[in-house]
């Protein structure tokens, strides 16, 4: 009986000691839950603010806010063409820049006739290093450019190992994906600063959220563009300039024609037109966004995936895409 009494007393003592720790853990748990709930509420509001409220409240007057002319590079196909059309829908005059004169003439005419805006175009090959910029600067010197969309870009023919890439492709990635955005901003930004209003949209990529093997040089070029955009916004926001980094996942365009899956429109792979109609609604609201609510969900999830898991899954899937592309050659 004495042993039982001693055990009972020991149990009471342990219970009293544990109650303090249980209460402490309960406080920590409540704090953690409250923090997560607040974070979820903020993220939900952010999603609604970016992707739902603008659609319900109507289109903003881009001409009044930024200016009457927009320049769009890489604008004869894909996101560039679709974004130019969305700007034209809102009454913005368009200057298209690309390397194919015939396509530029056709797209320029279609936009002008369809949306009743002024259009112009400049033939330029951004892969030629410093060569095209004097002519672009001369052509734009008398235009009040309110919006610049740096869309032109070079992607791999298909995912591949770095050492398999040609020197020409590597130089094109540097000249087209990186140098073009720098030089175009250097040309139009002084005018925006003088008028104290303007917007710059740089088309980056969701590959920035984690290092992606077999897209190494391309992903690095888009990471540069994302960093540059965010830093430049802080540098010029006080002067009335809004700089946005768009970070889309794959979109069903000619750029991903190497894959029969990615090149077809589906729930997570929108058409360029569908993507642009959502992305343009975020202009002026977010300096860094996927531009499309479905892509935003994917981006948030990917940011929380450990890097080693992302890399292993990425290299597995991109090897499949590489094999598919090589089989179709």
Q: Are 121 and 96 in contact (CB under 8 A)?
A: yes
Give the phi and the psi of residue 202 in degrees, each rounded to 5. -110, 120
Q: Are 250 and 166 in contact (CB under 8 A)?
A: no
Across 284-296, b (16+ Cβ under 10 Å) vs e yields ebbbbbbbbbbbb
Q: How many other C-beta atoms can be found within 10 angstroms of the C-beta atom of residue 167?
A: 7
Greatest alpha-carbon span in the chain: 102
List beta partners, residue 255. none
| Active-site option among 66, 83, 115, 218 | 218
Q: Are 166 and 203 in contact (CB under 8 A)?
A: no
Tokens of 293: 């609510």
Segment holding 96, helix H or strand E:
strand 93-98
Report which DSSP code applies to 174: I
Q: Are 296 and 230 in contact (CB under 8 A)?
A: no
Rounded distance, CA 304 to CA 327, Å? 34
224 is catalytic: no
Rounded distance, CA 89 to CA 156, Å? 32
Q: Can you count the helices (H) and strands (E) in the chain?
A: 12, 7
Rounded distance, CA 318 to CA 81, Å? 27
Tokens of 136: 């672009």
Q: Are 207 and 218 in contact (CB under 8 A)?
A: yes
Q: Look at the alpha carbons of 184, 190, 195, 196 in this order and tell me if their dihedral is positive or negative.
A: positive
Point out the residues that are catalytic: 218
């Amino acid at each position: 009986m004495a042993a039982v009494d001693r055990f009972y007393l020991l149990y009471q003592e342990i219970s009293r000691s544990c109650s303090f720790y249980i209460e402490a853990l309960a406080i920590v748990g409540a704090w953690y839950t409250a923090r997560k709930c607040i974070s979820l509420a903020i993220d939900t509001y952010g999603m609604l603010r970016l992707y739902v409220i603008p659609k319900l409240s109507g289109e903003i007057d881009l001409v009044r806010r930024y200016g009457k002319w927009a320049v769009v590079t890489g604008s004869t196909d894909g996101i560039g063409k679709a974004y130019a059309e969305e700007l034209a829908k809102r009454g913005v005059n368009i200057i298209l820049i690309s390397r194919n004169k015939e396509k530029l003439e056709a797209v320029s005419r279609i936009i002008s006739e369809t949306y009743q805006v002024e259009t112009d175009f400049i033939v330029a090959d951004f892969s030629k290093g410093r060569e095209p910029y004097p002519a672009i600067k001369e052509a734009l010197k008398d235009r009040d450019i309110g919006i610049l969309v740096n869309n032109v870009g070079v992607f791999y023919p298909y995912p591949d190992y770095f050492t398999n890439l040609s020197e020409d492709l590597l130089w094109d990635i540097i000249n087209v994906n990186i140098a073009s955005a720098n030089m175009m901003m250097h040309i139009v930004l002084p005018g925006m600063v003088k008028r104290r209003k303007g917007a710059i949209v740089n088309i980056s990529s969701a590959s920035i959220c984690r290092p992606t093997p077999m897209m190494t040089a391309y992903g690095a070029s888009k990471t540069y563009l994302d960093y540059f955009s965010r830093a430049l916004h802080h540098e010029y926001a006080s002067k009335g300039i809004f700089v946005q980094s768009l970070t889309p996942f794959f979109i069903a365009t000619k750029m991903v024609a190497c894959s029969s899956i990615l090149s077809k429109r589906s729930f997570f792979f929108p058409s360029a037109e569908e993507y642009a109609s959502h992305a343009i609604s975020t202009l002026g609201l977010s300096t860094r966004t996927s531009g499309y609510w479905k892509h935003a969900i994917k981006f948030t999830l990917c940011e929380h995936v450990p890097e080693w898991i992302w890399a292993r899954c990425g290299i597995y899937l991109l090897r499949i895409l590489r094999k598919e592309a090589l089989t179709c050659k």
